[in-house]
Amino acid sequence: MSNNSSPLIQVSQLSKSFGSKQALNKVNFDINKGQPVALVGPNGAGKTTLFSLLCGYIQPSSGRISILGHHAGSAATFGKLAALPQDAQLDPRFSIAHQLKFYGKLQGFNNKKSQFEAERTLDLVGLKEVLNEKPNALSHGMRKRVTIAQALIGNPEIIMLDEATAGLDPLHAREIRQLVANLSNETTFILSSHDLSELERLCHQVLFLENGVLREHQNVSNESLANNQQTYLTIRMANDEIEFEQSLLAIEQISSVVKTQDREYLITINAPTNAMTNSSTSALPLDIQILQLCHDKKWIYRQIVNGKTLENQLFS
Amino acid sequence: MNNPSQIQQSLFRMWALAKFELIRLFFTKRGSLALLAFVTAWFLILYYPVNSAVSIVASDGFKEMAKDTFGMLGLSALLNWQVSEFTLYWLIALYSFPVFALGASSDQTCADRTRGTLRFISLRATRNEILFGRFLGQVLIIALLILITLIATAGMAWWRDSNLLSPALLKVGQLFIELNIVVLPFIALTSFFNSFLRSAKLTSVITLLFFGLGTIIISLLSDKIPNAQYLYYIFPGVQLSDIVGQNLFSITHYIIPIVQTFCYLILASIFMKRSAL
């Protein structure tokens, strides 16, 4: 995807206060068309406030928001920006088909196209069979998926999903992640979630909010660290191995091994340009050397991650 | 032009929102029950008070007494109406439809705002479109209900005397316009309260306080400041006592509710734009 065009979303010096509480403090960022963007942060960090500002649900105290060149909430963004706001529900008195068709008509579709969009989007979230049901007849997870379907009507350019997979069973959460991945070539998703592994899988750009301040604005990969002196590997082991850290430190390019949590280690590697490919002292690339070590020692590893995990990037 | 203009798109969205309100009344269980209750109440009103009053007014023995009573109340012009059924209908409808309109339109955006549904809609329609679309929907609902009761009353008159059909239909047209103008500011008032309140019950309570406490406060103020009596013009229905007798035609009787409607909708628009969804 091209990043050369003007950003889809531009936020500058954005602040929002609720009485004496400052929910957002001079936040700046751009979001370009492309891969999904993660919005993370602890409870009360300002994620939902930022979502609400971007959708035009609330007005900023100061600062500027530009969505596709228009201000947030502008009629020019209708049909181009969609959202799943946290805890928003459909009207329980009307069938799902009726409501999705109504949203389609508000987006300017005729009756036939609205019906098609209602069926298509429900099919995308695996719920075509509930077309004529009322929301109250569905489980919490199904209702959530229906509200995701409403965000997909008309293939908008930007979709913001606030805690989209919260409350979904693992199978359907996976289906939603797959859906986001499949659609991310044509739509730019902005995802808020507490599930960092989920965001790590889907997103290349991370907005990390803490106490209303944007602390990080980075890409989640070793690529962004390519010009630095160090790169990282993260390895998760099946068991605690007493000699694990010492054995790794015996490898020449490894400068440190830190146990980040139970059976998870962050390995710091010097000389990033060639460490992952080959070594001056060994014919094998470094990650293969580590796997060989595990094999020789009969240590079972669960996962090896190229770089820091998102969790470690944000919290370690 | 292949693409509709922004104004056309805006009108289309408002109409879609208004139609949704009509569907809410006629095609949902709660709406159908409310409609059934309305029809039952008006059946009782038409069958007993209106029907009975017509036979009383028509009898020679009671005619003079009715004239005296209506004359004392400034309503004698109503007795000259050719279709007697509309005399009592007018007296009941003039005061009951505004109250009914307040109740029926008390939830224009409250429940949707609390549930979060308004967040889905506001990504597809502007806040003004939502406000005016919902207002239009409520106006259409009340207008339809007024029309149903008017047609039923005309039908009763026609049933009594087939020669009354033509004057009855003329009266239907006149009263339809008058009653609709009367209810407009009441619906606009609830639109205004809905622009910042989050429940229909709270809207009803605030409406009650607005009329109750508002009247008391203005009454007390009027004792101290003579010009304070003009504050009564903030109340929808302030002109009702002047039009109930249908004695004199005055354009102000129509201008007052229309100006009130306009003002409350402007206020609602300002509040709606500032409110959090």
* Beta-carbon contacts of residue B208 (< 8 Å; ≥ 6 apart): none
The average pLDDT across A51-79 equals 95
What pLDDT is recorded for position A217? 61
Q: Please tell me if residue A89 touches chain B, with a CB cutoff of 8 Å.
A: yes
Pick the residue from chain A with its C-alpha nearest to B30: A93
Q: Over chain B, what is the mean pLDDT?
A: 91
Pick the residue from chain B with its C-alpha nearest to A94: B28
Contact A102 B16 (CB under 8 A): yes
Q: Please tell me if residue B69 touches chain A, with a CB cutoff of 8 Å.
A: no
Q: How far does B243 lie from chain A, in Å, by closest CA?
A: 40
Q: Please tell me if residue B32 touches chain A, with a CB cutoff of 8 Å.
A: no
Confidence of residue B225 (pLDDT cuts 50, 70, 90): very high
Q: Please tell me if residue A97 touches chain B, with a CB cutoff of 8 Å.
A: no
Question: Is it the case that residue B164 has pLDDT exceeding 90?
Answer: yes
Q: How far does B270 lie from chain A, in Å, by closest CA?
A: 13
Distances (CA, A) of A178 to A172, B20, B128: 10, 34, 37
Question: Is it the case that residue B96 has pLDDT exceeding 50?
Answer: yes
Contact A57 B13 (CB under 8 A): no
What pLDDT is recorded for position B1? 46
Percent residues over pLDDT 90 in chain A: 64
Contact B9 A108 (CB under 8 A): yes
Q: How far does B107 lie from chain A, in Å, by closest CA?
A: 13
Q: Please tell me if residue A114 touches chain B, with a CB cutoff of 8 Å.
A: no
What pLDDT is recorded for position B148? 95
Q: Please tell me if residue A85 touches chain B, with a CB cutoff of 8 Å.
A: yes
Question: Is it the case that residue A224 has pLDDT exceeding 60?
Answer: no
Q: How many CB pairs under 8 A join A and B?
A: 74
CB atoms within 10 A of CB A178: 11
Question: Residue B117 is nearest to which of A78, A89, A105, comparing CB atoms?
Answer: A89
What pLDDT is recorded for position A135? 95
What pLDDT is recorded for position A3? 45
Percent residues over pLDDT 70 in chain B: 97
Confidence of residue B3 (pLDDT cuts 50, 70, 90): low
What pLDDT is recorded for position A223? 52
Q: Please tell me if residue A169 touches chain B, with a CB cutoff of 8 Å.
A: no
Question: Is it the case that residue B10 has pLDDT exceeding 60?
Answer: yes
Confidence of residue A199 (pLDDT cuts 50, 70, 90): confident
What pLDDT is recorded for position B262? 98
Q: In chain A, which residues have their Cβ closer than 8 Å to the Cβ of B125?
A: 78, 106
Q: How far does A78 lie from chain B, in Å, by closest CA?
A: 5
User: Which amino acid belongs to residue A168?
Assistant: L
The average pLDDT across B99-110 equals 94
* Beta-carbon contacts of residue B78 (< 8 Å; ≥ 6 apart): B70, B87, B90, B91, B245, B246
3-class DSSP state of A24: strand
Q: How far does B26 lie from chain A, in Å, by closest CA?
A: 12
Q: In chain B, which residues have their Cβ closer than 8 Å to the Cβ of A55?
A: 119, 122-123
A241-262 burial, b if ≥16 CB within 10 A, otherwise e?
beebeebbeebebbeebeebee
- Measure the CA–CA gap between A31 and A44, rounded to whole angstroms: 22
> Which tens digits make up the pLDDT trace of A230-287?
788 999 999 988 899 999 999 988 999 999 989 999 999 886 545 455 545 556 788 8
User: Which amino acid belongs to residue B238?
Assistant: V
The average pLDDT across B158-167 equals 92
What pLDDT is recorded for position B2? 52
What is the residue-wise DSSP string for chain B? --SPPHHHHHHHHHHHHHHHHHHHHHSSHHHHHHHHHHHHHHHHHIIIIIHHHHHHHHSHHHHHHHHHHHHHTT-GGGGG-SSTHHHHHHHHHHHHHHHHHHHHTS-SSHHHHHHTHHHHHHTTS-HHHHHHHHHHHHHHHHHHHHHHHHHHHHHHHHHH-GGGHHHHHHHHHHHHHHHHHHHHHHHHHHHHHHTT---HHHHHHHHHHHHHHHHHHHHHHHHH-GGGGGGGGGSTTTTHHHHTT--S--THHHHHHHHHHHHHHHHHHHHHHHS--
Q: Over chain A, what is the mean pLDDT?
A: 88
Confidence of residue B81 (pLDDT cuts 50, 70, 90): confident
Q: Please tell me if residue B26 touches chain A, with a CB cutoff of 8 Å.
A: no
Question: Is it the case that residue B184 has pLDDT exceeding 60?
Answer: yes
Question: Residue B28 is nearest to which of A57, A75, A93, comparing CB atoms?
Answer: A93
The average pLDDT across A144-153 equals 95
Q: Please tell me if residue B21 touches chain A, with a CB cutoff of 8 Å.
A: no
- Measure the CA–CA gap between B221 and B150, rounded to whole angstroms: 40
Q: How far does A150 lie from chain B, in Å, by closest CA?
A: 8
Q: Phi/psi of residue B132, each to 5°?
A: -75, -30
Residue from A71, A100, A102, A106 to probe the interface with B (highest B Cβ count within 10 Å): A106
DSSP state letter for A253: T
> Which tens digits make up the pLDDT trace of B107-157?
999 999 999 999 999 999 999 999 999 999 999 999 999 999 999 999 999
Q: Please tell me if residue A36 touches chain B, with a CB cutoff of 8 Å.
A: no
Interface ipTM: 0.87
Q: Give helix then strand counts, H and E, for chain A.
A: 10, 13
The average pLDDT across A85-107 equals 94
Q: Please tell me if residue B11 touches chain A, with a CB cutoff of 8 Å.
A: no
Question: Residue B277 is nearest to which of A57, A90, A108, comparing CB atoms?
Answer: A57
Distances (CA, A) of A307 to A257, A260, A294, A304: 13, 13, 19, 9
* CA end-to-end span of chain B: 35
- Measure the CA–CA gap between B77 and B144, rounded to whole angstroms: 27
What pLDDT is recorded for position B31? 84
Q: How far does B29 lie from chain A, in Å, by closest CA?
A: 8
Residue from B119, B130, B271 to probe the interface with A (highest A Cβ count within 10 Å): B119
Name the range with the highest mean pLDDT among A153-157, A176-180, A252-256, A301-305: A153-157
Question: Residue A83 is nearest to which of B23, B123, B127, comparing CB atoms?
Answer: B123
What pLDDT is recorded for position A193? 86
Residue from B124, B126, B134, B270 to probe the interface with A (highest A Cβ count within 10 Å): B124
Contact B9 A88 (CB under 8 A): no
